[in-house]
Amino acid sequence: MAMDAVWKRIGVTENCTKESLQNQVLRRGCQNLGLEVQRVPRNSSEDHYCGSCSFGCRVGDKKGTDTTWLVDAVAHGAVILTGCKAESFILKKEDSTKRQKCFGVIATALSSTVTRKLQIEAKVSISACGALLTPPLLIRSGLKNPYIGSNLHLHPVQHAWGYFPESSTEIEGASFEGGIITSVHKVVSENSDVHAIIEATGVGPGAVSAALPWVSGQDMKERMLKYARTVNIFALVRDQSHGEVKEEGSIKYWLNAFDKRNLTIGLRQCLRILVAAGAVEVGTYRSDGQRLQCKGINKDKLEEFLDTVSSPGGPLSHGEKWVLYGSAHQMGSCRMGATEEDGALDENGQCWEAKDLFVCDGSVLPSAIGVNPMITIESTAYCISKRIAAYLKNNCS
């Protein structure tokens, strides 16, 4: 099966010898609350603890695309052109039908010393630019299916933080050490519906300083001094909301009330977990610097604080209090569909409007999936690639 092949190639492991500070806190808090916490399969060895994978694994232990699939492609004769950008596909009408045929791609070199465009001709062309860049490329090429660039899902997240001074807990480590995500908690309703999942995140000092609400210069300095022992965890929802990306760099997204409610439920659970794990102070990233001192706090006082935690508008909402939302993963903006009226692509990943033009990335997914999508996307790409190989054998030999 595709997922088994992907699992094997990228070296997925389900155990972790030593968890990072963030994941230890998540696990400890859940255990103290009697909540279930699960291991997260990851594409690295069980004892991987580099702490820099979100910026590029410095020891090469993480089995990303650069050390697996691209290596395989080069070993089988592929040529990788760096420093250039795909501008448009070469589309021409071949007969009286409205469907066009793709003959290749036009690319521009990003170096100022190369002034000529590249014209690459191919029997089959594939866009694998991701959910934010594939739609603009197809639209620039002249395709007009309404599902190209729409149905964008973002897995919206809200973060909570907790401060764990070394003097107050035996949990070891710093926020910039260890694996990024090794544990997950699912926030479920009484009917077993999943409101959100809660995971840890690897956030560098630059990102933290940019996201922290401005209270005062003194507060910012104190918060950054505590960075190494400040744990960030987040609530992620499988969004029913959607957006669009029709032009490169222009993204529109409308977060609906249902997803905001689930984010609020997840964010409140994040704070409960941080308090239960032993945080001396917790807070959100709301614009007023919302936070709570935890020493001696009882359940009633905690719940009273949590009642004030919500999911308000973003910075452009012009509300008195606002919050920075994040996007964990982008998908769905060039969805597959059974017919041209249901999606931009057929079940093989081929564009309904253009023969010999395929899409092979997260944009093909028809909806948000609610969990980390790496293996799902790579497995889908694996299936599409097998279909493309069969298509070439049968039609282009």
Active site (catalytic) residues? 329
Which strand (E) or helix (H) includes residue 390? helix 374-395
Rounded to whole angstroms, the Cα distance separating 27 from 18 reads 12
Q: What is the DSSP letter of 58?
A: T
Rounded to whole angstroms, the Cα distance separating 66 from 80 reads 11
Distances in Å between the Cα of 165 and the Cα atoms of 99, 129, 150, 279 are 63, 42, 45, 8
Rounded to whole angstroms, the Cα distance separating 254 from 49 reads 37
Which strand (E) or helix (H) includes residue 281? strand 281-284
Instruction: For residue 331, give the 3-state DSSP assignment.
Output: strand
The residue count for the chain: 397
CA-based max dimension of the chain: 77
DSSP-derived pairing of the beta strands 100-109 and 118-121: antiparallel
Q: Classify residue 144 as exposed, middle or buried by CB count within 10 Å of its CB (0-12, 13-18, 19+).
A: exposed
Q: What is the DSSP letter of 66?
A: G
Task: Give me the DSSP letters along 140-176.
Answer: HTT---TTTT-SBB--EEEEEEEE--GGG------TT
Please, what sign has the CA dihedral across residues 214, 217, 221, 222? Answer: negative
Rounded to 5°, angle at Cα 377 from 347 and 40: 140
Instruction: For residue 303, give the 3-state DSSP assignment.
Output: helix
Residue 84: how many other CB atoms lie within 10 Å? 15
Structure tokens at 278: 């032993």
Distances in Å between the Cα of 233 and the Cα atoms of 95, 137, 177, 288 are 55, 35, 15, 19
Rounded to whole angstroms, the Cα distance separating 117 from 84 reads 9
